[in-house]
Amino acid sequence: MSEEEKLDASQSYSADSIQVLEGLEAVRKRPSMYIGDTGLKGLHHLVYEVVDNSIDEAMGGYCDDIQVSINEDNSVTVIDNGRGIPVDWHEKEQRSALEVVLTVLHAGGKFDKGSYKVSGGLHGVGVSCVNALSSSFHVEICRDGKLYEQDYKRGKPIYSVREIGTSEETGTTITFIPDDEIFSVLEFKYDVLAARLRELAYLNTGIKLSLTDRRNVLENGEFKSEIFHSDEGLKEFVRFLDQSREPLIDDVIHISTDKFGGMPVEVAMMYNQSYNENIFSYVNNINTIEGGTHLAGFRRGMTRTLKKYAEDSKMLEKVKIEVTGDDFREGLTAVISIKVAEPQFEGQTKTKLGNNEVMGSVDMAVSEALGNYLEEHPKEAKIIVDKVVLAATARHAARNARELVQRKSPLSGGGLPGKLADCSDRDPEKCEFFIVEGDSAGGTAKQGRSRKYQAIMPIRGKILNVEKAMQHRILENEEIRNMYTALGVSIGTDDDSKELNISKLRYHKIIFMTDADVDGSHIDTLLLTFFFRQMKPLIENGYIYIATPPLYLCRKGKVEEYCWTEIQRQQFIEKYGSGNENAIHTQRYKGLGEMNAEQLWHTTMDPEFRTLRQVTIENAADADHVFSMLMGDDVAPRREFIEANASYAKIDA
């Protein structure tokens, strides 16, 4: 239900009073209600919101080119070649249609019934929200041979729409600057926007989306820029996701149809040699990270069809153990995208689809695509079924390994790991768990910590690369078992569930503390991969952090300052050495071990002074792609990625 409908249903406001309540002031008063938050995520949401409107034009068949630029002043421009927002006079509202679209919540859709708009969820709040949350908002419309413009400030028009010229084209150009009174960060991230535009290109074939960063010029004298465009849709999307994985079979199984219940369903899937299941689902271009009825339909159709094929061809006869749904999805990468006219979004983050009628349509579409493929490709079908049997066998081995983890959990009698220096407080919300590189730094951290609420667990350098290991190997690994036990999390209550149980989680801050060097960042990446693949809910709940130890200690006489960047060091030299570097003593910290307990506490662990970087997943498909690339076999793409993107894996992954 939309906010408007909620008000309507619960109270007997007249239409007018709803308008007032739902005005842009409400958006400015409680921005998080409309865009999620006012940090990095919310900031980027503004762009998605504008682009979504252009995508809607494209889905209607009126637009095929969308250009996004990040400008020098951190404003963003979105240009599309759609019909252009109507500018004619709106009698009832006593202002132009353009002004209605830009100042009334949800007004955009009122003109255009029948398209796949989103209600609830985070998108679909309307371009008027972006207007409300922008310190300046400029719109240009090409329509009916003319060019029009209008400017707004914090949602209020500065003048009525005016004609400023002629134009042969049609389309809408919007440029906005996010309001610094609202947002805690104002700088757009190229990679975050690129990941979303790439995803949109795969989800909506035939549209050209481009991104240009005009904030700085590259060595070749040009702006950083990419064009995203896909003719084959999800087929290309799964190939992109599996770029760094070894395929089991080269084919992508693909279907795009609306013959089941009239609902557009597109599914693509591909098997690789890994042991991970990677399924991404979308409803009206929104990533439904909590799944829902469409995902359930996919699973059901897949399991039934593969099981039936394997049974009919007598391939399961010699297998004594029961084959479950999970076994059919090991090493599977798949993307499901459906369009629903009136989606019901449920769940904590409103990303779980509730519409029941969807399940059957997706089930039938998958069934048909997979069934046909298996019948037409017996050789490949055998390879898939063999892999399923192997998965079932390994799952039994994993069950034994999992029992090891469960038995050792503190609540079933086993003790905490010997390496853990626990804190005394028992309230998870107050408690912090530091994973520290090496025993020596671990020792320093133990001395320096605040014993009441900070626990320390040293790890022995590089932990197992979970990207390439089978589940039972992962759970047999001592360091990883210690992690489960210390954190108090377990896997599955029933035998074969992979679900993570975090109800007994003992700390709500889990902090990686590693050296500020190449090895340290490799360990961070291994740890991130582990948490991303094995304990994703902890990332989703915002419990994972990376500590930032300083790079230098600069000293002039009695004055000492820690520096985290080269710029800070230069500033110290300016300030205390009058620009003379030789007058300054610089100590470069290569590792945590070079600091004493007091220094480590002061710079890196003390909540009053430290900086923690919270690990978030901005875009699940992108994160999957990054981790498979960073941790996979193929060295070339990894090197390219690290060279092009040195800080990405550490900060944003």
Catalytic machinery residues: 437, 515, 517, 519
Nearer to ligand 0RA, 85 or 436 (CB): 85
467 vs 275: CA distance, rounded Å? 8
441 vs 457: CA distance, rounded Å? 10
Residues in a beta bridge with 156: 153
Cα separation values, 227 from 149, 224, 285, Å: 27, 11, 19
290 vs 539: CA distance, rounded Å? 14
Residues in Cβ contact with 572 at an 8 Å cutoff, skipping those fewer than 6 apart: 554, 556, 561, 563, 584
556 vs 584: CA distance, rounded Å? 5
Nearer to ligand 0RA, 97 or 526 (CB): 97
Nearer to ligand 0RA, 65 or 519 (CB): 65
Least distance in angstroms from the C-beta of 52 to ligand 0RA: 9
DSSP letters for 515-575? -SSHHHHHHHHHHHHHHHHH-HHHHHTT-EEEE---SEEEEETTEEEEESSHHHHHHHHHH
Least distance in angstroms from the C-beta of 54 to ligand 0RA: 5
For residue 157, the Cα-to-chain-centroid distance in whole angstroms is 34
Nearer to ligand 0RA, 54 or 288 (CB): 54
Cα–Cα nearest to 300, from 240, 356, 366, 205: 366
184 vs 39: CA distance, rounded Å? 5
Nearer to ligand 0RA, 53 or 444 (CB): 53
Nearer to ligand 0RA, 57 or 326 (CB): 57
Least distance in angstroms from the C-beta of 348 to ligand 0RA: 30
49 vs 47: CA distance, rounded Å? 5
Least distance in angstroms from the C-beta of 612 to ligand 0RA: 38
Least distance in angstroms from the C-beta of 76 to ligand 0RA: 13
Least distance in angstroms from the C-beta of 112 to ligand 0RA: 5
Is there a contact between 199 and 335 (Cβ–Cβ < 8 Å)? no
520 vs 526: CA distance, rounded Å? 10
Least distance in angstroms from the C-beta of 86 to ligand 0RA: 5
Burial of residue 265, with CB atoms counted within 10 A of its CB: 0-12 exposed, 13-18 middle, 19 or more buried: buried
Least distance in angstroms from the C-beta of 141 to ligand 0RA: 9
Burial of residue 244, with CB atoms counted within 10 A of its CB: 0-12 exposed, 13-18 middle, 19 or more buried: buried
Nearer to ligand 0RA, 47 or 265 (CB): 47
Nearer to ligand 0RA, 2 or 257 (CB): 2
Least distance in angstroms from the C-beta of 365 to ligand 0RA: 30
Helix, coil or strand: residue 506: coil
Strands 208-217 and 162-166: unpaired
Dihedral (CA of 455, 460, 462, 468) sign: negative
216 C-beta neighbours (distance < 10 Å), count: 8
Least distance in angstroms from the C-beta of 175 to ligand 0RA: 12
Q: Which residue is nearest to ligand 0RA (CB)?
A: 53
Helix, coil or strand: residue 287: strand
Cα–Cα nearest to 652, from 144, 191, 288, 22: 191
Contacting positions for ligand 0RA (CB under 6 A): 53-54, 57, 80, 82-83, 85-86, 101, 108, 111-112, 127, 172
Nearer to ligand 0RA, 79 or 612 (CB): 79
Nearer to ligand 0RA, 174 or 486 (CB): 174
Amino acid at the residue 626:
V
Amino acid at the residue 346:
E
